[in-house]
Amino acid sequence: MFKIFSNFLDRIREHSNNYHIVQEFNKNNRYKIKFSLYYDVILNPPNRNYPLNVGFYIRFPEYVFNFLRTIQTPNQCCFKRISLHSPHQIIPFTRGIELSDSSLDFISRCAIKTILEHDDLCHHRYDIHGIRELGIIFDGLIIKFLMKPELHTPSKVIRVLRRFSKNAQFTERHLFIFSKPDTCIGWPFNEYEYTKLDEHNPAKIFLEEMQETY
């Protein structure tokens, strides 16, 4: 059985256009890209940090996109003055913060809207940081939301998103930026560590400060 499964994986890799790109990238970088049926890896122009710079296109089955488009989403995606129109602004709500079910429902719907519309999930080219953020958001928010019985999410949709999320999170350590709403035109952006959100969550701190003020 193991040999059959191993041969199946070999066939997938042999026919994958991105196999050699992934192999070459993994030889020279601390991040180790995982093979996945749900994203393609392409070459981007080199930069200072990544001489072999890669990008990612999402390749979900059409039924996943079709189902996500049926989810009703808010017209305005702003939670207590925190804009949710960028994935990095949503990351703090995936870990280290306690919110009501209705708040998590709203944020999850905003996350779906942001990924589908603002990022244009079907056509957007993600960099290595963006693809990891996407994996975190699906894992920490969207999948849990979609599993609500009243949504009747097909099991095959959940299965695809779980596999994608696992593949997209190359490493648990992830730095992201977050801007508090009370900073001038969103600046400066501060950098935070995803694994430390349980101890230091910028969204949680802002909400607590706002509650004390009002």
Please tell me the predicted confidence (pLDDT) of residue 37.
Answer: 85
Average pLDDT of every residue of the chain: 83
Q: How many CB atoms lie within 10 A of CB 5?
A: 9
pLDDT of residue 3: 53
Nearest Cα neighbor of 59 from 109, 17, 110 is 17
Query: Which pLDDT value is given to residue 25?
Result: 82
Average pLDDT over residues 169-194: 70
pLDDT of residue 6: 59
Residue 30 and residue 50: Cα distance in Å, rounded?
11
SS percent in the chain: helix, strand, coil, step 5: 50, 10, 35
Banded model confidence at residue 184, pLDDT cuts 50, 70, 90: very low
Does residue 12 register a pLDDT over 70? no
Q: Tell me the C-alpha to C-alpha distance, in Å, between residue 99 and each of 37, 105, 118, 149, 181.
A: 34, 10, 25, 20, 19
Quote the pLDDT of residue 162.
Answer: 96
8 A C-beta contact, residue 65 and residue 164: no
Kindly indicate the confidence band of residue 14, based on its pLDDT and cuts at 50, 70 and 90: very low
- pLDDT confidence of residue 144: 96
Mean pLDDT over 185-213 rounds to: 79
In DSSP terms, which residues pair with 175 in a beta bridge?
193
Give the mean pLDDT of 46-74: 87
Looking at residue 15, what is its pLDDT?
47
Residue 191: Cβ within 10 Å count:
10
The larger pLDDT score, comparing residue 127 to residue 157, is at 157
- Which of 81-85, 171-175, 184-188 has the largest mean confidence? 81-85
Q: Do residues 80 and 210 make contact, with C-beta atoms less than 8 angstroms apart?
A: yes
